Chains A and B, each alone.
Chain A
Amino acid sequence: MWPDRMAPAILFRSAVVLLGRFPALAGVDFEVDAGEAVLVQGPNGAGKTTLLRACAGLVPLVAGEATVLGHDMRRDRRGVRRRVAFLGHATHLYDDLTVAENVRFAVRATGGDGEGLSAVLERLGLDGRLRDVPAGRLSAGQRRRTALAVCLSRAPELWLLDEPHAGLDGRGRDLLDDTVRAALGRGSTVVLASHEDERARALAGRVITMAGGQVHHEPGRRGATARPGKPAHVA
């Protein structure tokens, strides 16, 4: 079921995440509406990746509150994962499985039957010869596109993209941008962290900045700048 467009897809209040003893998120307040695209910016080590991982339920909160797609992340981190796609620094691919096998495994894991597999591979330029190439023999950009195909095939409600343009050539970047725009058109929510300022800003309706494990809010909204064509509301 798709989330109510008015309800926040992500809501963090004073969220704290520790990596060892280090507070990677040190009391984060963060809110994203359903169907919104938000760009998270900040220097290396600001906590962007940890914020995205926390949204995916990959790291536990030690304090504060967080709700993602209606799931209380302090009580039920696993429940949200089936509804989320996470494209991070790692591609999460099995080197000995082919491109098609990697995507099919991801689809079946979410309960799908792999019916739309060929269409997804074709859309991302992974059909033909590449379809049956083991992931271990792919170039970095091809691996990235395969990881994107895995995300796309899961038909997620929430896209979490950590430096999604990294390692992609011009065509790959265009494919990624088109895929994200199509997902937004279907009502998905997107949070991306990127240093590719121009491309990322073109995708996002709102930009927030992180530093030292905290979100630095901008006037008018908790961390918000107005989205062109869609006025930001005050949280």
Chain B
Amino acid sequence: MWRDALLVAGKDLRIERRSRVTTNQVAPFAVVVLVLFAFALDPDRGVLTRAAAGLFWVSVLFCAVLAVQRSFSVEAADGARDGLRLSGLDPAGVFLGKAGAVAAQLVVLEALLAAGVVLLYGTDLKGGVVLFATCAAATVGLAAAGTVYGVLSAGLRVRETLLPLLLLPVAAPVLLSATRAWEAALGTGGGVGGAGPWLRLLVVFAVVYVAFGVVAFGALLEEA
């Protein structure tokens, strides 16, 4: 399973490196979202600083939708999904590989967005450990849930519009928990100690979706 996961993740990341969709399209999109939030809430810079955590995670969520869509659109071209099914790869390995590749892209985008909230919103990134722990748990959860719903919508003609409709409501707990944890770390919503329960919720979400994906991805891939 792990060998197959590394194989699939390597393949997806190589495709991303070649096509540069993440760097040339998703990353600029993420920056544009941050800038638009700034336009909408300016000139009151205080609002931007207080809302930075929420705006950051909403932007991450939008990027996650794009990354997942891209991950499955490469499988839709020229029957590649049938090729993946015929390959004989362990479906759990395929799931972990695709989720891992999405997670790797999200980490890069989160770093870019973090720099964006510092520069555009004047946010001081305090509480580094909590921020990193939140990013790690939320990224795993979003990548896993995204991959589950990505394969679910992959075989449908309306997949581009269906995926956000499926994924965004499901990812609401991640948005809520990650925002509260970041607010606690940044000092815009209680002390650092308040981040604990939200971090635990993020970990539970990630564990549940990783486990569900490992077990169910094969059946979902067959049905898609």
Given A88-B82, A109-B4, the answer on whether A94 and B11 have CB atoms closer than 8 Å is: yes
Contacts of B87 in A (CB 8 A): 81-82, 106, 109-110
Contacts of A82 in B (CB 8 A): 87-88
Which residues of chain B (10-40) have a CB below 8 Å from chain A? 11, 14-15, 18-19
A184 CB–B CB distance under 8 Å: no
Given A78-B218, A101-B14, A109-B7, the answer on whether A94 and B80 have CB atoms closer than 8 Å is: yes
B89 CB–A CB distance under 8 Å: yes
Partner of A81, one of B11, B79, B80, B85: B85
B86 CB–A CB distance under 8 Å: yes
Give the interface of B toward A (CB within 8 A).
Answer: 4, 7, 11, 14-15, 18-19, 74, 77-80, 82-83, 85-89, 91, 218, 222
Minimal beta-carbon separation of A58 from chain B (angstroms): 6
| B78 and A109 form a contact (CB under 8 A) | no
Most B C-beta atoms less than 10 A away, residue of A88, A89, A109, A111: A109
Closest 7 CB pairs of A and B: A90-B79, A92-B83, A82-B88, A109-B87, A96-B18, A96-B15, A96-B19
Contacts of B14 in A (CB 8 A): 96-97, 101
Contacts of B83 in A (CB 8 A): 92-93, 106, 150
Contacts of A110 in B (CB 8 A): 87-88
Contacts of B77 in A (CB 8 A): 94-95
| A97 and B79 form a contact (CB under 8 A) | no
Given A108-B7, A109-B4, A110-B88, the answer on whether A92 and B19 have CB atoms closer than 8 Å is: no
Given A101-B14, A105-B7, the answer on whether A90 and B78 have CB atoms closer than 8 Å is: yes
A83 (CB) vs chain B CBs: closest residue: B88
Main secondary structure of the interface of B (DSSP, over half): helix
A86 CB–B CB distance under 8 Å: yes
**A91 and B80 alpha carbons, distance in the complex (Å):** 8
Contacts of B86 in A (CB 8 A): 56, 58, 81, 84, 86, 92
Q: How many residues of A contact B (CB 8 A)?
A: 29
Contacts of A109 in B (CB 8 A): 4, 7, 87-89
Given A88-B79, A90-B78, the answer on whether A97 and B18 have CB atoms closer than 8 Å is: yes
Most B C-beta atoms less than 10 A away, residue of A86, A96, A110: A96
Given A81-B86, A84-B86, A86-B86, the answer on whether A94 and B15 have CB atoms closer than 8 Å is: yes
Minimal beta-carbon separation of A160 from chain B (angstroms): 10
Given A82-B88, A84-B86, A105-B11, the answer on whether A93 and B18 have CB atoms closer than 8 Å is: no
**A108 and B14 alpha carbons, distance in the complex (Å):** 15
**A222 and B197 alpha carbons, distance in the complex (Å):** 68
Minimal beta-carbon separation of B92 from chain A (angstroms): 12
**A143 and B7 alpha carbons, distance in the complex (Å):** 22
| A92 and B15 form a contact (CB under 8 A) | no
**A84 and B82 alpha carbons, distance in the complex (Å):** 13
A27 CB–B CB distance under 8 Å: no
A84 (CB) vs chain B CBs: closest residue: B86
Minimal beta-carbon separation of B165 from chain A (angstroms): 23
